[in-house]
């Protein structure tokens, strides 16, 4: 099997590593890739937002399977174009990808499916903003305001704050940019990311993970695309995991089928485990980053065969997934100023170490690997338990040199110390 992966982040680097372990994979290609993926796969320059261009590339390299990593190509219908070219594609249609592309669509689907989520209100007129803010957050007896961009925002369109002025400023900025605002009730409780491979109404869950969205230790500072993750979750009972699959993911998949928008790909449920049980924070239509790096580090089943089965309507026949024992921890090394405008162009030392996945990197003509984005590297450590996985990850982090870079020092720490309880 020849597989083409679309994307350029650490998620795609992790996908390529896992795909390479599958004995049926004979060739790997990636577009556009980065300095790290170049050692694993043939790299191609392509406009990943153009379905025609991606389909043409897949045809030219005789790809048997295309795996689309980022959400933007999916929301733009790139998977539709690949399928129309007669090539198996792991990734939902444009219609089904609205589960991430429009938070209002996702809310409508969840309501129809009877799935618990935060109460919400769409604001598309600045004149209605102040009254809407009065219905959420502290005025409504909640811990904080939750203000979201209704569309895609790379994980950085959300503000959770107790400061009304900050909530209003974020919402007003979105409205000024022509983006509808979603106000939500605050969901308290530890968060869970559960990835499920989905083919219509067939749902195969992967290991649950937890990511760290804030830039600083102790969940301080602004939201980012994700500063780290770990899997599995020692504090999440198996029955709660099963409840998420049976009462949330399967009903949503069935509702999408009912609407004629059957989902084929990776359905990612972001949840809060509240005192009343699991509730959905958001749905995404693709592998999450950085959770993917931790989850795939523990997968023993052949990934290419799994994704191909989903892409060709045969997921129900795939054998039960096999997992490695132990835990995996991913720590993101970010460029100076991230999540603001990042400093780029700095030489990275130590990026060739085992467990280092590349995200915002490129290779100069002189061979040096330099930073080219906000999240630069994702360092994965594995071990018998979270303590040893953390030690492995942070041991590698300490060997990497990137001027001005920063990382969180508390990824997986609370779970390792037994401080997360339901």
pLDDT digits (tens, 9 = 90+) for 114-165: 999 988 889 999 988 998 899 988 988 888 889 988 777 665 578 899 999 9
Max distance between CA atoms of the chain, in angstroms, equals 59
SS3 151: coil
Query: What is the mean pLDDT of the segment spanning 238-267?
Result: 98
pLDDT at 154: 62
Cα→Cα distances 87→56, 62, 262, Å: 11, 9, 18
Take residue 389 and report the two structure tokens written for it: 């996985």
Residue 373 has pLDDT above 90, yes or no: yes
Query: What is the mean pLDDT of the segment spanning 283-295?
Result: 98
Domain 119-184 has CATH 3.30.1490.20: yes
Residue 176 has pLDDT above 80, yes or no: yes
Total-model pTM = 0.93
Omega before residue 309 within 30° of 0, cis: no
Query: What is the mean pLDDT of the segment spanning 110-116?
Result: 97
Domain 2-93 has CATH 3.40.50.20: yes
How many other C-beta atoms lie within 10 A of the C-beta of residue 140?
Answer: 13
Residue 384 has pLDDT above 80, yes or no: yes
Domain locations in the chain as residue ranges: 2-93, 119-184
Take residue 223 and report the two structure tokens written for it: 């939201």
**CA-CA distance, 284 to 264, in Å (whole number)?**
13
pLDDT at 153: 63
% pLDDT > 90, the chain:
86
% pLDDT > 70, the chain:
99
**CA-CA distance, 71 to 283, in Å (whole number)?**
12
Cα→Cα distances 6→36, 39, 55, 189, 369, Å: 14, 16, 11, 34, 21
**CA-CA distance, 356 to 394, in Å (whole number)?**
11
Residue with tokens 């390299």: 61
**CA-CA distance, 143 to 162, in Å (whole number)?**
7
Strand spans (E) along 224-322: 228-231, 264-274, 277-284
Reported as a single tens digit per residue, the pLDDT across 8-63 is 999 999 999 999 999 999 999 999 999 999 999 999 999 999 999 999 999 999 99
Query: What is the mean pLDDT of the segment spanning 375-389?
Result: 99
- For the chain, give the number of residues: 422
Do 40 and 27 contact (CB within 8 A), yes or no? no
How many other C-beta atoms lie within 10 A of the C-beta of residue 328?
Answer: 29
Residue 86 has pLDDT above 60, yes or no: yes
Take residue 280 and report the two structure tokens written for it: 């959905």
Take residue 158 and report the two structure tokens written for it: 């959300």
Do 226 and 282 contact (CB within 8 A), yes or no? no
Do 81 and 55 contact (CB within 8 A), yes or no? yes
Residue 311 has pLDDT above 80, yes or no: yes
Q: Cβ contacts of residue 414 below 8 Å, gap of 6+?
A: 420
Bridge partners of 191? Answer: 272
Closest CA to 160 of 223, 228, 229, 227: 223
pLDDT at 7: 98
pLDDT at 119: 87
Query: What is the mean pLDDT of the segment spanning 293-318?
Result: 99
DSSP letter at 367 equals S
Strand spans (E) along 295-386: 327-334, 356-358, 361-363, 369-371, 375-383
Closest CA to 82 of 13, 25, 31, 35: 31
Residue 204 has pLDDT above 90, yes or no: yes
pLDDT at 158: 84
**CA-CA distance, 247 to 236, in Å (whole number)?**
16
159: part of which helix (H) or strand (E)? Answer: strand 158-161
Reported as a single tens digit per residue, the pLDDT across 62-75 is 999 999 999 999 99
- Alpha-helical regions (H) of 182-299: 238-244, 250-258, 291-297
Take residue 168 and report the two structure tokens written for it: 């209003």
Query: What is the mean pLDDT of the segment spanning 92-101?
Result: 97
Closest CA to 123 of 37, 66, 72, 182: 182
Reported as a single tens digit per residue, the pLDDT across 217-252 is 999 999 999 999 999 999 999 999 999 999 999 999
Strand spans (E) along 185-260: 191-199, 202-211, 214-216, 220-223, 228-231
Mean pLDDT of the chain: 96
């Amino acid at each position: 099997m020849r597989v083409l992966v679309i994307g350029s982040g650490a998620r795609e680097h992790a996908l390529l590593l896992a795909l390479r372990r599958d004995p049926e994979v004979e060739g790997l290609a990636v577009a556009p890739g980065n300095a790290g993926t170049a050692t694993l796969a043939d790299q191609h320059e392509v406009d990943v937002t153009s379905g025609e261009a991606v389909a043409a590339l897949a045809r030219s390299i005789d790809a048997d399977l295309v795996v689309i990593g980022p959400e933007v190509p999916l929301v733009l219908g790139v998977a539709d174009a690949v399928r129309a070219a007669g090539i198996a594609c792991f990734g939902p249609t444009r219609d089904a990808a609205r589960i991430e592309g429009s938070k209002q669509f996702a809310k409508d689907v969840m309501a129809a499916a009877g799935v618990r989520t935060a109460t919400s209100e769409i604001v598309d007129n600045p004149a209605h903003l102040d009254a809407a803010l009065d219905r959420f957050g502290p005025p409504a007896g909640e811990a904080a305001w939750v203000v979201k961009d209704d569309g895609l925002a790379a994980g950085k369109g959300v503000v959770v704050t107790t400061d009304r002025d900050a909530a209003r400023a974020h919402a007003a900025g979105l409205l000024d940019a022509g983006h509808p605002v979603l106000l939500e009730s605050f969901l308290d409780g530890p968060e869970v990311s559960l990835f499920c491979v989905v083919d219509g109404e067939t749902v195969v869950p992967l290991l649950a993970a937890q990511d760290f969205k804030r830039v600083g230790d102790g969940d301080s500072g602004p939201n980012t695309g994700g500063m780290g993750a770990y899997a599995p979750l020692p504090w999440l009972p198996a029955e709660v995991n099963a409840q998420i699959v049976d009462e949330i993911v399967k009903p949503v998949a069935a509702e999408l089928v009912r609407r004629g928008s059957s989902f084929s790909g990776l359905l990612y449920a972001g949840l809060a485990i509240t005192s009343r049980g699991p509730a959905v924070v958001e749905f995404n239509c693709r592998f999450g980053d950085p959770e993917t790096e931790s989850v795939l580090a523990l997968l023993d089943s052949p990934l290419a065969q799994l994704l191909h089965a989903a892409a060709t309507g045969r997921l129900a026949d795939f054998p039960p997934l096999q997992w490695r024992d132990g835990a995996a921890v991913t720590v993101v090394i970010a460029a100076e100023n991230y999540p603001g405008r990042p400093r780029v162009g700095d030489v990275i030392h130590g990026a060739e170490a085992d467990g280092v996945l590349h995200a915002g990197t490129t290779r100069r003509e002189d061979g040096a690997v330099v930073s080219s984005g906000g999240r630069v590297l994702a360092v994965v450590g594995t071990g018998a338990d979270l303590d040893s996985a953390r030690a492995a990850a942070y041991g590698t982090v300490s060997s990497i040199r990137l001027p001005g870079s920063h990382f969180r020092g508390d990824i997986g720490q609370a779970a390792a110390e037994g401080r997360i309880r339901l």
